[in-house]
């Protein structure tokens, strides 16, 4: 396992439609905060509300890097909706001189294989053991007919941040780089 030591504080974001989960890490074992931010709007209003919530997190935690999933960036080339949200993240990051990194879901899952985790719920359970402050947010195991619990976006963000510290191969987007 190779740990990253040059980004002292990171903000991991699991971006979803009308909400995002976040986790702030200082080092690989210190979870400073986590949660979800909602923005019940669509179109340009959604982008503006997401931006406002992201800026407040950047001001509160002052991270040196933002981490997101590679699949979101890949989806941005197909969906104009996701594209506008991703472009806003890059714009906000550029304004705050923060690097943006992307990690694939495959890398996230590989980070948890040595803990015996194969499913997202198993990953969430392991994370609540590693970071006991997450235990009250751990939802019950989902049954096939149930929709995903809203707190899973928090665990996805924590898993993303946890995996970031263990992988050298992340895509780095310069703050002024545009999505093509």
Could you give the 3-state DSSP secondary structure of residue 8?
coil
Q: What is the mean pLDDT of residues 160-176?
A: 69
pLDDT digit string, tens, across residues 144-160 = 888 888 889 999 999 99
CB atoms within 10 A of CB 75: 15
β partners of residue 16: 19
Look at residue 174 and tell me whether its pLDDT is greater than 90: no
pLDDT at 167: 74
Convert the pLDDT of each residue in 73-114 to its tens digit.
777 677 777 788 888 999 999 999 999 999 999 999 998 988
Report pLDDT for 9. 92
89: Cα separation from own chain's centroid: 12
14 φ, ψ (degrees, to nearest 5): -105, 100
Higher local confidence (pLDDT), 57 or 168: 57
* pLDDT of res. 14: 92
Q: What is the mean pLDDT of residues 125-149?
A: 91
CA angle at residue 120 from 4 to 88, to 5 degrees?
60
Residue 175 has pLDDT above 70, yes or no: no
Measured over the CA atoms of residue 103, residue 13, residue 55 and residue 9, the dihedral's sign is: negative
pLDDT band, very low/low/confident/very high, at 179 (cuts 50, 70, 90): very low
pLDDT bracket for residue 169 (50, 70, 90): low
pLDDT in tens, 23-51: 999 987 899 999 998 877 777 888 888 89
The rounded mean pLDDT for the chain is 84
Record the pTM. Answer: 0.86
Write down the pLDDT at residue 170. 58
Q: 89, 66 in Cβ contact below 8 A? A: yes
């Amino acid at each position: 396992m190779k740990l990253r030591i040059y980004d002292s504080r990171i903000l991991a974001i699991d971006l979803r439609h009308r909400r995002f989960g976040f986790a702030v890490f200082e080092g690989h074992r210190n979870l400073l905060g986590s949660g979800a931010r909602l923005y019940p709007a669509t179109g340009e209003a959604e982008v503006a509300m997401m931006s406002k919530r992201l800026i407040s997190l950047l001001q509160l935690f002052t991270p040196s890097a933002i981490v997101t999933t590679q699949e979101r960036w890949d989806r941005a080339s197909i969906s104009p909706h996701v594209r506008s949200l991703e472009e806003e993240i890059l714009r906000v990051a550029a304004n705050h001189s923060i690097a943006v990194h992307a990690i694939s879901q495959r890398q996230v899952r590989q980070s948890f294989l040595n803990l015996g985790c194969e499913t997202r719920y198993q990953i969430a359970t392991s994370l609540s053991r590693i970071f006991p402050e997450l235990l009250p947010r751990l939802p019950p195991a989902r049954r096939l007919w149930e929709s995903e619990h809203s707190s899973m976006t928090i665990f996805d963000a924590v898993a993303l941040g946890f995996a970031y510290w263990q992988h050298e191969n992340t895509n780095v987007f310069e703050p002024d780089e545009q999505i093509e």
